[in-house]
Structure 1
Amino acid sequence: MSVSSVRQILIVLCLTVFLMQASLAGENGKLPGAGLIHQLKFGVLAHDVGDLWSGFHRENGVDLNIEVVLAPSMDVLGGTLRPALGGSINTNGDTSKGYLDILWQYNFSSGIFVVTGVGAAVHDGKLHASHVDRKALGSRVLFHIPLEIGYFLTPRTTFSVYFDHISNAYTARENEGMDTLGARLGYIF
């Protein structure tokens, strides 16, 4: 899967989600609170950050991230579980990824929130150590583990610091893993 293919998939995904949400609009043109999408998040992330979970870095560039948090939810342990899908496109032509997660969010009364989850990611990076400037991820499908800490700027707008890690958890011989870290803005429908 090439970077171009991942970009095309993400563009189609975004347009599809937008059209689905727009089709759920009421007669007054406002988006309903019980629509398909709970929140959209957009971010700029540092790619393959060293000295975090994966321990070192080989790849460069900035990742442009988009995530759609879907409306179906379930209350668990004082927080809320929701499905999400998203992707990060690397602006340097290195590893890009798409992912599907189950997220758990806890909102504090102060306006601060925390999100964590687990899911699967598909990437277009290298599987084996054939390039010194690319990570050997070992498997096309990887575990995706996000962590986010943020603040409600308004009841519908959020700002957050976002971290995610992808790896195969040693289900393959090579497992260099990759971390991203950055900031995101979110809009709640």
Structure 2
Amino acid sequence: MKRKTSLLAAVATTAFICAGAPASAEDFINEVRLGVMDHDSSMFHNTHETSDPDINFELRFASPDFLDWAFAPRPLIGGTVNTGSGTSFGYAGLGWTFDLTEAFFVDVTLGGAVHDGETNGKTATSKDFGCRAQFHESASIGYRFDKSNAVMLSVEHMSNASLCDDNEGLTNTGLRYAYTF
């Protein structure tokens, strides 16, 4: 529980610092996302952790000019917190949003994560993630109601790509709401 509290405090502090930074442009933070996820979703494999849901939150920032060459991804920070005894994690990375129509879009992210789960053996309620630092990626398909409000079906995955001895990974699925400033 102490690790989960420390992880949440670190993510919240980072979000607070970023949100409080002097924003010369009104686009510094340009989107906030909040969602509910099916923890360790059995859609992709046998569930090994809790069935308690996750709460996901994410801040997206304006794309800096030096990333224009890479289709202008937006830097992001976020966290997925399990409401029970399952693994929680904070993450950071880059996100790309591609419009399919005026209303429909797809979104992908790539980055890294730090989790509070097990790294030295599987237990009855936790996977063995092998190491604390992990890769994090997600994909969403979304619908915009207007210029500010959207909903998305999302899947996110965290694993170490076999860089550590164990690599059980964690895949969550869910529904997220996005508010664009």
| 1:76 shift after superposition | 5.9
Determine the C-alpha separation between the residues in 1 that align with 2:62 and 2:122.
42
Q: Are residue 69 (structure 1) and residue 60 (structure 2) matched? A: yes
165-174 or 129-138, larger mean C-alpha shift: 129-138
TM-score (norm 1): 0.85
The aligned residue for residue 171 of structure 1 is 163
List aligned pairs for 1:49-68, cutoff 5 A: 49-52=41-44, 55-60=45-50, 61-68=52-59
The aligned residue for residue 14 of structure 1 is 15
Match for residue 145 of structure 1 among 103, 117, 137: 137
Aligned residues: 177
TM-score (norm 2): 0.88
- Any conservation in 2 of the 1:126–1:135 contact (CA below 8 Å)? yes
Determine the C-alpha separation between the residues in 2 that align with 1:99 and 1:56.
24
List aligned pairs for 1:81-160, cutoff 5 A: 81-160=73-152
- In structure 1, the gaps of 5 or more residues are 26-31
Determine the C-alpha separation between the residues in 2 that align with 1:80 and 1:105.
9
The aligned residue for residue 188 of structure 1 is 180
- Any conservation in 2 of the 1:3–1:93 contact (CA below 8 Å)? no
- In structure 2, the gaps of 5 or more residues are none
Determine the C-alpha separation between the residues in 2 that align with 1:98 and 1:82.
17
Identity %: 28
Determine the C-alpha separation between the residues in 2 that align with 1:136 and 1:98.
17
Give the secondary structure class of the aligned counterpart of 1:59.
coil
Corresponding letter in the other structure for 1:147: A
- Residue by residue over 1:155-177, the C-alpha shift from the partner in whole angstroms, topping out at 9 and shown as x without a partner, is 01111111100001111111110
Determine the C-alpha separation between the residues in 1 that align with 2:39 and 2:47.
9
| 1:130 shift after superposition | 3.7
Give the secondary structure class of the aligned counterpart of 1:42.
strand
